[in-house]
């Protein structure tokens, strides 16, 4: 839009010049009217060919192929805002107003608070010559877990005389994923040797169908899928393939986001964040020990009513997928942890260890664990007790850990509710597919 004050001024000068016969006023008015077409043309093309890009960098984690940066709470992310003028017309002035969460404060400077009071604006003013690139650098501090969108960004520019100006919004979003805090299990109070229980057991030995080492006569319990048809034709008797045995360790972490006996009674934010960090620490330990890892939680990601589910998998990025799910989980519980255990355990590998991380232990949960133990499930119960938690008697033959919330080595300044995505933003997809 244009500044109407100059137009009004030109008409006033013309009238005054004609009334009082002052030629200087007429010359000034003619000058304003003459440059207005050039200013309007400059304004019309001022935002043409403007490129804008955000470049993230951190010392500990490299940016994967999807372009989304991952970081841990407390890390400093270097952010470079790059503005490129890809045209012959100089950019006389440009106001850039980039939007991101107030939960990611600047190391130097501050963000202008948006009306929503959850987001802020990073505002900078610059100019650029033809085909010039201008960079603005800042450092962002990651204070809590979550998915953080950067954008949209609004550009404001105009002609060199300031008579006209226009605005343009670029809706492209860049995402910064902040994982939960992770510490070693030994620091949490777990024993240094086999913290998730005995890993050597006969029922953990399976056959690898990709490694055939011979053939033998068919037995009634053998599957028809293992029949060696060529050998059967030669010997005129059913022959089956013999596979090389292999050892597989499966761990599925069940996270209970409820912090009261009845999940609709309320929420204890600090207790929930500690439970999420404990689950993340167990997941990291499992990957270090080459477990097949999975995650199930009765919480959801924002603007969704489906429980979080990352099925056990051997994928190289499985730990990243689990940590991303934990970074996104909210305090809204879709169901009780008992119902989730009973519904999902039949779909999980029979030899898997089920690690239940919960901030509250109820009689219903203990009864469910006893039922799963009686049918042969391998269970690990991790309870986070605050000072007001009532004592409980763990079921026999179930490995149980009681972690006092007052002694957990997490930094409480970096624990908090994740950033709430705006309803107009589509959250990143967290798939539940298992690629074993």
| 185-199+249-414 has the same fold as 50-178 | no
Query: What are the Cα distances from residue 294, in Å, to 88, 237, 276, 362, 414?
Result: 55, 42, 14, 24, 25
More confident residue, 144 or 247: 144
- Give the SS3 label for residue 154: strand
Tell me the sheet residues that pair with 54. 81
Q: Answer yes or no: is pLDDT of 49 > 60.
A: yes
Q: How is domain 185-199+249-414 classified at the architecture level of CATH? A: 3-Layer(aba) Sandwich (3.40)
What DSSP character marks residue 108? S
Q: Which of 1-5, 153-157, 235-239, 389-393 has the highest mean pLDDT?
A: 153-157
Read off the tokens for 145: 């877990």
Query: What are the Cα distances from residue 380, in Å, to 35, 88, 251?
Result: 78, 67, 10
**Confidence (pLDDT) at 236:** 85
Residues 6+ apart with CB under 8 A from 370: 395, 398
* C-alpha count within 13 angstroms, C-beta hemisphere, residue 139: 8
pLDDT tens digit string along 168-204? 999 989 989 999 999 999 999 999 888 887 655 444 4
Task: Please state the domain extents for the chain.
Answer: 4-45, 50-178, 185-199+249-414, 205-247
Query: Which of 236, 239, 275, 232 is CA-nearest to residue 255?
Result: 275
Strands 76-85 and 50-57, by their bridges, are: antiparallel
Q: Answer yes or no: is pLDDT of 87 > 70.
A: yes
**Confidence (pLDDT) at 434:** 45
CATH of domain 50-178: 2.60.40.10
Nearest-angstrom CA–CA distance, 29 and 299: 67
pTM of the model: 0.79
More confident residue, 214 or 89: 89
The mean-pLDDT minimum among 9-23, 81-95, 313-327 falls in 9-23
pLDDT tens digit string along 189-199? 999 888 887 65
Distance, first Cα to last Cα, the chain: 58
The mean-pLDDT minimum among 53-67, 289-303, 346-360 falls in 53-67
Alpha helices in 317-416 (DSSP H): 318-328, 337-344, 363-374
- 243, 214 in Cβ contact below 8 A? no
Q: Answer yes or no: is pLDDT of 420 > 80.
A: no
Nearest-angstrom CA–CA distance, 111 and 292: 43
């Amino acid at each position: 839009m244009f500044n109407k004050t100059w137009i009004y001024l030109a008409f006033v000068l013309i009238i005054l010049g004609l009334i009082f016969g002052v030629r200087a006023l007429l010359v000034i008015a003619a000058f304003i009217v003459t440059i207005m077409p050039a200013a309007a043309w400059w304004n019309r093309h001022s935002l043409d060919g403007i490129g804008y890009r955000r470049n993230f960098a951190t010392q500990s984690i490299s940016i994967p192929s999807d372009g989304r940066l991952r970081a841990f709470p407390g890390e400093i992310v270097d952010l470079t805002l790059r503005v490129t003028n890809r045209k012959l017309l100089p950019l006389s002035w440009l106001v850039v107003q980039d939007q991101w969460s107030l939960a990611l404060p600047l190391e130097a400077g501050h963000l202008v608070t948006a009306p929503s009071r959850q987001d802020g604006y990073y505002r900078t003013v610059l100019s650029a010559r033809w085909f010039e690139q201008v960079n603005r650098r800042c450092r962002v501090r990651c204070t809590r877990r979550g998915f953080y969108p950067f954008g949209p960004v609004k550009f404001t520019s105009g002609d060199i005389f300031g008579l006209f100006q226009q605005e343009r919004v670029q809706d492209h979003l860049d995402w910064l994923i902040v994982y939960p805090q992770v510490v070693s299990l030994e620091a949490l109070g777990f024993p240094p040797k086999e913290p998730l229980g005995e890993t050597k057991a006969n029922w953990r030995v399976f056959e690898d169908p990709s490694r055939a080492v011979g053939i033998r006569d068919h037995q009634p319990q053998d599957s028809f899928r293992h029949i060696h048809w060529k050998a059967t034709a030669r010997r005129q008797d059913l022959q089956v393939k013999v596979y090389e045995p292999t050892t597989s360790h499966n761990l599925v972490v069940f996270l209970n986001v409820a912090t009261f006996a009845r999940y609709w009674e309320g929420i204890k934010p600090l207790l929930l964040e500690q439970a999420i960090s404990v689950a993340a620490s167990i997941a990291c330990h499992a990957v270090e020990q080459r477990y097949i890892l999975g995650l199930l939680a009765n919480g959801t990601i924002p603007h969704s009513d489906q429980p979080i589910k990352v099925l056990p998998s051997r994928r190289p990025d499985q730990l990243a997928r689990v940590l991303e799910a934990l970074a996104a989980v909210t305090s809204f519980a879709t169901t009780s942890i008992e119902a989730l255990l009973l519904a999902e355990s039949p779909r999980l590998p029979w030899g898997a260890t089920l690690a239940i991380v919960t901030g509250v232990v109820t009689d219903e949960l203990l009864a469910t664990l006893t039922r799963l133990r009686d049918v042969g499930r391998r269970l690990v119960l991790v309870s986070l007790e605050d000072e007001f938690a009532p004592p409980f008697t763990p079921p026999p033959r179930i490995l149980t850990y009681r972690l006092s919330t007052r002694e957990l080595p997490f930094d409480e300044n970096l624990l908090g509710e994740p950033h709430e995505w705006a309803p107009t933003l589509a959250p990143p997809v967290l798939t539940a597919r298992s690629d074993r």
